[in-house]
Structure 1
Amino acid sequence: MKLWPLVPAVALCATAVQAEDLQLTPSVDARLRYENVEQDGLPGDADALTLRARPGLTAKSGEWSALVEAEATVALSTGYNDGLNGKTQFPLVADPSNLEINRAQIRYSSLSGMTATAGRQRIELADQRFVGPAAFRQNEQTFDALRVQWTRGRLSADLTYAGSVRTVNGSRGAGARPSAIDGDNIFALLGYRSDIGTLAGFAYLVDQDDVAVQGFRLSSQTYGVRLNGSLDIAAGAKLGYTASWARQSDYHRNPNDYSAEYWLGEATLNYSGFNASLGYEVLGADDGTPLTSVQTPLASFFRWNGWAGKFSTIPPDGLHDLYATVGHTLKKVGPLQAINLAATWHRFDSDRLDRRYGHELDLVLSARHGPFGASLRYAGYRADTLATDTDKLWLTLEWAV
């Protein structure tokens, strides 16, 4: 594991107390979650009750700041497969017990629009399709990295070198589910903000330099463009739109020789608390060999291709995801600041050979009051030619200050 990015953060925390204008800000982020999974083909249902807490401390002095944050996850029930405990009679709920340093970073932010962050950090790039923190899982995905961001007028640039990825498997990870994956990862985005939206070119060079993780076959280079924008179409009504294209191929030690295309088109309409969206995503395939379709191993998976989690690894024949969402937000309901309701439907098909994989319905009801949040979610996947019927239910309570 490459620990060099942690050195500056630790050094600053040790010396910053000497600064006369030092500001110290504590933080706590806690989440209690119950997850139930019924999956055809397995003898038992998963019942996972887990508690996660992230206490942290930020020290700030002028343009410099440092953050240290721990992460502890406790399994309050044991009737599930956490990916490490060998309980394969149950469905997977990838929230193993964990105790580790989640973030330890130093940051410099100048008034000229340049920010540099070094150390173990959270990284969210664009829509998190290719790089994100996987925040839905109890153990967050973070990066030992050096990141530089720059904005000047309509132009922006974002460049990251990450020497290690801390996975959602936590400190107990091993084998094909390691706690960290080293590699020379490079993420770069260059954007221009116009009247119709932000146009960005991006490059994601993912180096999964661990033979136990799919034999290096998740290492890839992806180059593409993305347009994201919105416009007011009537009083109180806003239309949002996103379009993206990329080409992915093998990289570094990947023994596969492949090339595949990625496409995304999405439109969203918001009006008076109601929202609706329609999207179509294509993760293309090459010749049908495993792991020669578009793969995104560093993505925030829960945001994509259904909450049932059937497509964290894209099938050899690729994936087409047609999806639609309708929702409504109620504000100031009694003591609650907001109540959100939403339903999303997915139809999944292959990119080659014209196969119907299945379909999925996702439902959510959430509410917030001050620092407290609660949500009830359901995902129902119905298989056609891929995987098996699966039902998932989540009840989550959160508190953050």
Structure 2
Amino acid sequence: MTGKRRTTLTGLLLFSLGCGAAEHSTDVSARARLADATVAGESGRAASLLLRARMASRWNRQWSSLVEIDHVSSAWQDDHSDGRRLNGRPLIPDVPGTELNQLALRYRGAEIEVTLGRQRLEWDDQRFLGSDSFWQQDQTFDALALERPLLMSSRWQYLYIGRANRIFGRGRDLNPPESGYPSYPADGKPPGYYPDDYSLAGEHRHDSHLTRLELNEWDYTQLVLYGLAVDNRDQPSTSNHTLGARYRFSYQAHPLRYRLLLEVAAQERPGRPQPHYHLAELAVGYQSLEGLGRYEVLGSDQGEGFTTPLGSSYLFQGFAGVFAATPDDGVEDRSLRLNWRAHPWEVSVRHHWFSAQTDGRDYGREWNIEVQLKPARPQEIALRCANFQGESPYLPDQRRAYLDYRYNF
């Protein structure tokens, strides 16, 4: 079923509910961004503007719908690559265009909630499933989502995903490859400077099933069990079966706050190696300060790294995005972070040490600085900077900076 037919079907479902809606709410927002990047001595810059219009409707007690349309415009297009245009400049994937970001119909009953259509999906911290919404184009999914409450405070979720609408803009067909979109790194650029064509595709067809069980029956504790059967028809190399468990403990003993996060996952690809994933994170807070230590491993088995193709490519392993795709030898990320919050300011400083999971050789290190100012509810200003220093000729030095201004009308 094509994307157009899916959209038409959802539209007919909405129309069939009738025009006598009980409630409608609309929202319009804008996010302007200046971005600067230097990779292997090559500089790039971009300016972009996201305009988003959203309408949520409640038709009756059980039925509701959501429509969200995005328009992204950009400047300095010759000074960067964005995934549609690859011109030898650093990749800044804020792709211009107009997209139907969400179009979904929801039924909410006493024992189950069902959502059908194009929707934004985020599980936990978005490591395995997320919207990647730092970029101007969201990652959304054409999916069927089921959610059922369990016990006192727990829930079970199931997803069927038919299509991933990715940050590079929907509708781009890369089979066969288009002229000007090389499948291999540009001459003189290190391997990995550009991903392959299908990594930059705007859409991936799926026949994927995901399930998640969230248990919240104990004080201070949350346990999550999940299983992912990812079948990517357009990029089969990312297809996988993953089973994992996530444990979170939060406790406050005045004047200190404590948070512990542990996660493990095993991954299997039919007839191929079976890498593993490990995470340990400990945070201690005092008044407006919080210190955090994190150890994350995306393992490797026989030269194939652990993959998270439906998750965020920006929130983890540094703002420079050097390890958005896991290296063949896996990656260990040891990081320290200091957060400070005092309204309307939020400041975060992080340092990452990266190494290969297989033999421990040094990949490099990275500094991240994030400053957010929220002077009033409709406004937000954010500055994010990254400085990656590579220890391999295949991982060149990178410096990136993003300045955002968001306004909700």
Q: Write out per-residue CA displacement over residues 251-292 of structure 1, whole angstroms, 9 at most, x where no aligned residue.
A: 5xxxx611011000111222212111111001110012xxx2
Question: Is residue 2:207 matched to residue 1:188?
Answer: no
How many angstroms apart in 2 are the aligned matches of 1:229 and 1:53? 38
Q: Write out per-residue CA displacement over residues 80-119 of structure 1, whole angstroms, 9 at most, x where no aligned residue.
A: 111221312x100111112121100011223x35321110
Q: In the TM superposition, what is the alpha-carbon distance from 1:12 to its structure 2 partner?
A: 4.3
Q: In the TM superposition, what is the alpha-carbon distance from 1:17 to its structure 2 partner?
A: 5.1
Residue 399 of structure 1 aligns with an amino acid whose one-letter code is Y
What residue number does 1:209 align with?
A: 233
Residue 68 of structure 2 aligns with an amino acid whose one-letter code is E
What residue number does 1:14 align with?
A: 15
What residue number does 1:32 align with?
A: 32
Secondary structure of 2:300's counterpart equals coil
Of 238, 241, 257, the residue aligned with 1:238 is 257
Distance 1:74 1:60, change over 3 A: same
Q: In the TM superposition, what is the alpha-carbon distance from 1:394 to its structure 2 partner?
A: 0.8
Secondary structure of 1:11's counterpart equals helix
For residues 379-390 of structure 1, the aligned pairs below 5 Å read 379-385=386-392, 386-390=394-398
For residues 281-292 of structure 1, the aligned pairs below 5 Å read 281-288=296-303, 292=304
Of 244, 249, 257, the residue aligned with 1:224 is 244
What residue number does 1:162 align with?
A: 161
What residue number does 2:371 align with?
A: 365
For residues 302-317 of structure 1, the aligned pairs below 5 Å read 302-317=314-329
What residue number does 1:278 align with?
A: 293
CA contact (8 A) 1:2 1:182 kept: no
Q: In the TM superposition, what is the alpha-carbon distance from 1:302 to its structure 2 partner?
A: 1.2
What residue number does 1:128 align with?
A: 126
Give the unaligned 5+ runs of structure 2.
175-196
How many angstroms apart in 2 are the aligned matches of 1:278 and 1:6? 44
What residue number does 2:183 align with?
A: none
CA contact (8 A) 1:162 1:185 kept: yes
What residue number does 2:177 align with?
A: none
Residue 172 of structure 2 aligns with an amino acid whose one-letter code is G
Distance 1:274 1:5, change over 3 A: farther
Distance 1:281 1:323, change over 3 A: same
Question: Higher mean Cα deviation, 123-132 or 167-176?
Answer: 167-176
How many angstroms apart in 2 are the aligned matches of 1:268 and 1:8? 47
Q: Write out per-residue CA displacement over residues 188-229 of structure 1, whole angstroms, 9 at most, x where no aligned residue.
A: 11122122411111011222211xx4xx21111110111112
- State the aligned residue count: 378
What residue number does 1:267 align with?
A: 282
Residue 233 of structure 1 aligns with an amino acid whose one-letter code is A
Question: Is residue 2:65 matched to residue 1:66?
Answer: yes
Secondary structure of 1:259's counterpart equals coil
How many angstroms apart in 2 are the aligned matches of 1:31 and 1:154? 36
Residue 401 of structure 2 aligns with an amino acid whose one-letter code is L
What residue number does 2:182 align with?
A: none
Q: Write out per-residue CA displacement over residues 324-361 of structure 1, whole angstroms, 9 at most, x where no aligned residue.
A: 11011112xxxxxx111110110001110221100000
How many angstroms apart in 2 are the aligned matches of 1:380 and 1:10? 46
CA contact (8 A) 2:171 2:203 kept: no
How many angstroms apart in 2 are the aligned matches of 1:36 and 1:173? 25
Root-mean-square deviation (CA, aligned residues, Å) is 1.7
Residue 116 of structure 1 aligns with an amino acid whose one-letter code is V
Residue 372 of structure 1 aligns with an amino acid whose one-letter code is Q
Give the unaligned 5+ runs of structure 1.
332-337
CA contact (8 A) 2:249 2:259 kept: yes
Residue 239 of structure 1 aligns with an amino acid whose one-letter code is Y
TM-score, normalization by structure 1: 0.90
CA contact (8 A) 1:32 1:397 kept: yes
CA contact (8 A) 1:99 1:171 kept: no
TM-score, normalization by structure 2: 0.89
CA contact (8 A) 1:6 1:118 kept: no
What residue number does 1:49 align with?
A: 47
